[in-house]
Amino acid sequence: PTIRREDYRPPAFLVEQVDLHIALHPTATRVRARLALRRNPDAAGAAAALELDGEALRLLSAVLDGAPLPEDRLGHLPGGGLRIEGVPDAAVLETEVEISPEANSELSGLYLSGGNYVTQCEAEGFRRITYFPDRPDVMARYTTTLEADRAACPVLLSNGNPDGAGELPDGRHWARWVDPHPKPSYLFAVVAGDLVAVRDSFTTRSGREVALAIYVRRGDEDACGHAMDSLKRSMRWDEETYGLEYDLDVFNIAAVSDFNMGAMENKGLNVFNTKYILARPETATDMDYEGIETVVAHEYFHNWTGNRVTCRDWFQLSLKEGLTVFRDQHFSADQGSAAVKRLADVRRLRAAQFPEDAGPMAHPVRPDSYVEINNFYTATVYQKGAEVVRMMRALIGAENFRRGMDLYIARHDNQAVTIEDFVRAMQDASGTDLSRFSRWYAQAGTPELRVREAFADGRYTLTLAQSTPPTPGQPEKLPVPVPVAMGLIGPEGAEVAEPRLLLLEEAEQDFVFEGLAAKPVPSLLRGFSAPVKLSGLTLEQLGFLAAHDTDAFVRWESSQQYATATMLAMVEALRSQEPKAERAVHASGDAAFSGRTLELPEGLAAITGALLGRALEDPAFAAEALALPSEEFIADQMTIADPEAIHAVRQFLRGALGRRFAARFAALHETLADAGPYRTDGAAIGRRALRNAALAYLGAAGETGRAEAQFAGATNMTDSLAALRVLVDSDSPAREQALAAFHARWKEEPLVLDKWFTLQAMSPRTDAAAAEALSRHPDFDLRNPNRVRSLVGAFAAGNPAAFHAASGEGYRFLADMVIALDAVNTQVAARMVSPLGHWKRQDAARGARMRAELERIAARPGLSKGTYEKVSKSLAA
Ligand code: ARG
Ligand code: ZN
């Protein structure tokens, strides 16, 4: 059953007040709900029935206005919901249901994680707790009374402010929570169990004292400092940047090990995957620290963009997610090096969103239809959605954008609204017509920009042309307004024109610059001003920009594009070569290419040498710029990829660059050793990143002694893991021993064990058989999403050579896992399907094997609708 955006109808009934009483029990939790209903004046059909969603509920009783509803008044809806005819315009419905948290392996609704009760209601989990119109345009006030065994559940949390607690007979106790703000059901939450609180407080700008608490398992109290600090900085930032203050007396966070996503912004009670809360230097990497800061901020920012102003329906998901990702990116950029943060965000967009836009699941930022909404929590809705907000801000200017935000919130506080409402606020606040710009929300696919140039008599003409390739269901595309931040660089490496923001609105436009002494080199898409692909610059121009541009993004981008073009040429050369005697491509390169020769291109060596020469000026930037484009990125530039050749080329280049600059890498590794105390500020993180990049190049060149020493002596997880990665990817005799030592040391730390799985899953030395063996390791657990992602997700998305092994074993392993997972957790299973969807990019033999695995999954009886949607769309494209 496909849900379509155009079919939206307002609900027949609104819910004014919800009073819940939840008696917690592992297998038989009782939920009593009292709903104060009112017919919706905006709905068509004056006598329409009341429809309540419900799923996996055992109904015990239903009472309407004090009178029990007989069976024959309850219509049963397909998914498990109820339909009640003849409900008066104002009515009170009381239901009681029984549910089993223990049996809930979906991790949607109320479930157990490590013995503690936790809920996840977005998008459609509340219907697994009680009968309710479980759609975001029904906003209600909630009171929640929780009741549980005091010994098992000393902590009882829900949304809003605490409102009493007390003892009950038989060792039970209760607590009541009142949320004064109306909210959609997807923001409901309960957490109960044996957790301990790390406390702090925050005084809002207008003087409200907010009690902050992070609830974690006993023993993890020492790992919450960074999350708490990030929370307080987020609260301050939102006041300073948008004038937005927190609006309850408490802000609680609970961290759990079993969680489908990163975190959830439930009103006043955010629930987090432990991965995005817990951090100690010994157990968390610098990337983990950055992830925590970002996700804590993201969930906090949702309080206004998502909770106070929410979505009318799930097609509007990017209204809250794109905007909130934009806000968290902006916040993180403000905390340290904005340029380096931007590179990381762009790298992520290209790694996840561009392939999605080019694949079978391509959809607009505001989708038009879905089967399972959980399949649309995508890089397109989140990351591209954030890019669209960023472009809008660039077009109307920061001040107008701020005014637009004020207007959006003033107009729509406590409402469930649409993306059009957001765009309208920006348009009204800025006086800029954004109707054409809205195409960015409606059209799927990544626009491609092509550059042409002409120069004569001091007049430079830049011609930009755009086109967007067809995507499933959208054969024809219109031009979109593309903001192109740019400058011109003269032959001496200086800016020779005022930097400008060009607006490319048509399929093709000329931009003319007069009075130039010589032909300049255009520096385009500074700061990545639009989520597009750009082509048309020569290798020579890219090399020039990599060395001379004043914009850090363009310098990085040009070096990446230079490396990409070089690698693509090498892939072609390798494929067309006849095998020669003796010289192999690389010690650990592919057997398929042994006897063929590759040489280190001098241009790439020169760029690398220049980067190394300036590396200490900005170590974080240098680390980013020194990294070769990923194998996946190279594959995405080819019509038909060649995973083996790409892998061979990249491995060869890493080794060759490592050998060529061995002395400089070794010197960097020495110089950047941190003698002082461990710190996680941007500067310290940048130094470690560059130092470990050097270590990796040395490892690729066969020098693993340094990695062994670093592994043995490391006192923080960043350095330990970087060293272990070098060993795991090498044929060093220390490899197995290091893996065993790491496992022995960290076997009680699930988040660290995840890293142990991931390192191996992504190593070129791990083939499908080895990955499969890891899935039989006693520490592997299909019921834990982090563990599944750490092995299966990492293998399929991060080890292309093994995943795309010509034998098809990589595909088979993934399909086996999807099938097994679909019986446990359909949301996670459906997510794992994606890598199989990109079969069009592979050669005919691989494509056929990928499709065969998709068919095998599709044929499984009882497959979930979410997995089926992904599989069938993958096959149809
Ligand atoms: N709203 C959450 C966030 O982005 C994501 C929750 C999505 N959960 C899901 N099961 N689809 O912060
Ligand atoms: Zn979000």
For 52-66, give the DSSP string.
EB-SS-EEEEEEETT
The residues that bridge with 41 in the sheet, in sequence order, are none
CB of residue 680 inside a 6 A radius of ligand 1: no
State the CB neighbour count (10 A cutoff) for residue 621: 22
CB of residue 122 inside a 6 A radius of ligand 1: yes
Amino acid in the structure at residue 673: A
The whole-angstrom separation of Cα 27 and Cα 551 is 59
Q: Which ligand is nearest to the CA of 187?
A: 1
Cα–Cα distance list, 678 to 610, 615, 711, 755, 783 (Å): 30, 21, 16, 21, 35
Question: Which atom, in ligand 1's list, is nearest to the CA of 263?
Answer: 12
For residue 587, the model assigns a pLDDT of 42
The whole-angstrom separation of Cα 350 and Cα 330 is 19
CB of residue 328 inside a 6 A radius of ligand 1: no
- Atom 11 of ligand 1: nearest residue by CA position: 374
Find the length of the chain.
877
Give me ligand 1 centre to Cα 122, in Å.
Answer: 6
- Atom 12 of ligand 1: nearest residue by CA position: 264
CB of residue 321 inside a 6 A radius of ligand 1: yes
Amino acid in the structure at residue 665: F
Q: Which ligand is nearest to the CA of 831?
A: 1
CB of residue 124 inside a 6 A radius of ligand 1: no
The residues that bridge with 184 in the sheet, in sequence order, are 139
pLDDT, tens digit, 9 for 90 and up, residues 792-840 = 999 999 999 999 999 999 999 999 999 999 999 999 999 999 999 999 9
For residue 45, the model assigns a pLDDT of 87
Q: Which ligand is nearest to the CA of 324?
A: 2
Give me ligand 2 centre to Cα 484, in Å.
Answer: 28
Give me ligand 2 centre to Cα 401, in Å.
Answer: 20
SS (H, E, C) 455-497: EECCEEEEEEEEECCCECCECCCCCCCEEEEEEEECCCCCECC
CB of residue 214 inside a 6 A radius of ligand 1: no
866 φ, ψ (degrees, to nearest 5)? -65, -50
Of 106, 147, 290, 299, the active-site residue reads: 299
The whole-angstrom separation of Cα 290 and Cα 416 is 32
Q: Is 498 a catalytic residue?
A: no
CB of residue 357 inside a 6 A radius of ligand 1: no
Is residue 535 helix, strand or coil?
A: strand
CB of residue 264 inside a 6 A radius of ligand 1: yes
Give me ligand 1 centre to Cα 830, in Å.
Answer: 15
For residue 281, the model assigns a pLDDT of 97
The residues that bridge with 459 in the sheet, in sequence order, are 456
Q: Which residues of the chain have pLDDT under 70?
A: 580-592
C-alpha closest to that of 302 among 324, 317, 319, 326: 324
- Atom 5 of ligand 1: nearest residue by CA position: 264
C-alpha closest to that of 226 among 292, 270, 273, 275: 292
**What b/e string do you get for 792-830 counting C-beta neighbours within 10 Å, with b at 16 or more?**
bbbbbbbbbbbbbbeebbbbbbbbbbbbebbebbbbbbb
Is residue 845 helix, strand or coil?
A: helix
Start-end of H helices in 275-314: 286-301
Give me ligand 2 centre to Cα 299, in Å.
Answer: 6
Element housing 624 (H / E): helix 619-626
96 φ, ψ (degrees, to nearest 5)? -130, 135
C-alpha closest to that of 298 among 206, 222, 212, 231: 231
Give me ligand 1 centre to Cα 119, in Å.
Answer: 12
- Atom 7 of ligand 1: nearest residue by CA position: 122
CB of residue 784 inside a 6 A radius of ligand 1: no
For residue 581, the model assigns a pLDDT of 53
Q: Rounded to an integer, what is the distance from CA 15 to the centroid of its chain?
A: 33
Q: What tokens were used for 390?
A: 């960023």
Give me ligand 2 centre to Cα 52, in Å.
Answer: 26
For residue 596, the model assigns a pLDDT of 83
CB of residue 386 inside a 6 A radius of ligand 1: no
- Atom 1 of ligand 1: nearest residue by CA position: 264
Give me ligand 2 centre to Cα 283, in Å.
Answer: 26
Cα 187–Cα 193–Cα 199 angle in degrees, nearest 5: 75
Mutation choice for ligand 1 from 186, 264, 320, 826, CB with most ligand atoms inside 8 A: 264
Give me ligand 1 centre to Cα 121, in Å.
Answer: 9
Sign of CA dihedral 177, 182, 186, 187: negative
For residue 707, the model assigns a pLDDT of 98
CB 289 within 8 A of CB 685: yes
Q: Is 517 exposed, middle or buried (0-12, 13-18, 19+ CB in 10 A)?
A: exposed
Q: Which ligand is nearest to the CA of 126?
A: 1
CB of residue 263 inside a 6 A radius of ligand 1: yes
> 400: left (phi > 0), else alpha (psi -120 to 50), else beta?
alpha
pTM tops 0.95, yes or no: yes
Question: Which atom, in ligand 1's list, is nearest to the CA of 377?
Answer: 11
Q: Which ligand is nearest to the CA of 322?
A: 2
Residue 497: HSE in the Cβ half-sphere, 13 Å Cα cutoff? 25
Cα 743–Cα 745–Cα 748 angle in degrees, nearest 5: 85
Q: CB neighbours of 853 closer than 8 A, spacing ≥ 6?
A: 808, 811, 812, 814, 815, 836
Question: Which atom, in ligand 1's list, is nearest to the CA of 374?
Answer: 11
Q: What tokens were used for 756?
A: 């142990």
CB of residue 299 inside a 6 A radius of ligand 1: yes
CB of residue 261 inside a 6 A radius of ligand 1: yes
The whole-angstrom separation of Cα 544 and Cα 541 is 5
